[in-house]
Copies of this chain bind each other. A is one copy, B any other.
Amino acid sequence: MTNTTLDIEALRDAAGAATDFLRTLANPDRLMLLCQLSGGERCVSDLENETGIPQPTLSQQLAVLRREDLVVTRREGKQIYYRIADPKVLAMLDQLQQLFCPED
């Protein structure tokens, strides 16, 4: 006899972890920020210029990315530099680029 309850619970656990991750990416501002950071480290003013995201939103959304450990920071003088800290982000950005940015 096969107990499917465990399978469902395992599926639900994995689904929970995956959806936490997906929800963090599922915002245009945050996704754009991660796209920029996939090209390497950026300080906040770089990100502001490159994306046009207004400062308070930028700060709020960077805080979300930090809280979820998708990025880490380092201070250099006045500037704070951000970079991607979770390799899953890069894998997912690749996948999204294949699906939503054909040939570029």
**A19 engages B25 (CB within 8 Å):** yes
Selected interface stretch from A7-15, A61-69, A71-79: A7-15
User: A43 interface residue, CB < 8 Å from B?
Assistant: no
Give the size of the chain A interface in residues (CB under 8 angstroms): 32
Residues from chain B with a CB closer than 8 A to the CB of A6 are none
Residues from chain B with a CB closer than 8 A to the CB of A28 are 12, 15-16, 19
In chain A between 52 and 104, which residues have their CB closer than 8 angstroms to a CB of chain B?
52, 88, 91-92, 95-96, 98-101
Interfacial residues, chain A to chain B (CB-CB below 8 A): 4, 8, 11-12, 14-19, 21-23, 25-28, 31-32, 35, 50-52, 88, 91-92, 95-96, 98-101
